[in-house]
Amino acid sequence: MTNSDDRITQFKSEIADLQVKTSGKASAEKITSIVGLVLMVASIIIGIGSYVQAGQEDSTLDQNELIILAIACVSMAIVGAALWIRNALVKFWRFWMLRSLYEGQAHLDQVVKAITDSKSA
In this predicted structure, what is the pLDDT of residue 102? 80
pLDDT score of 26 more than 90: no
pLDDT tens digits, residue range 28-47? 888 989 999 999 999 999 99
**Does 45 or 98 have the greater pLDDT score?**
45
Domain ranges, ordered by start, for the chain:
25-120
The pTM of the full predicted model, rounded to 2 decimals, is 0.64
Alpha-carbon distance of 83 to 64, in angstroms, equals 29
pLDDT > 90: what percent of the chain?
A: 37
In this predicted structure, what is the pLDDT of residue 83? 93
pLDDT score of 1 more than 70: no
Q: Is 20 helix (H, G, I), strand (E, B) or coil?
A: coil
Q: Angle at the Cα of 10 (from 119 to 12), degrees rounded to 5?
A: 145
- Tell me the DSSP string of 29-65: HHHHHHHHHHHHHHHHHHHHHHHHHHHH-SSHHHHHH
In this predicted structure, what is the pLDDT of residue 4? 63
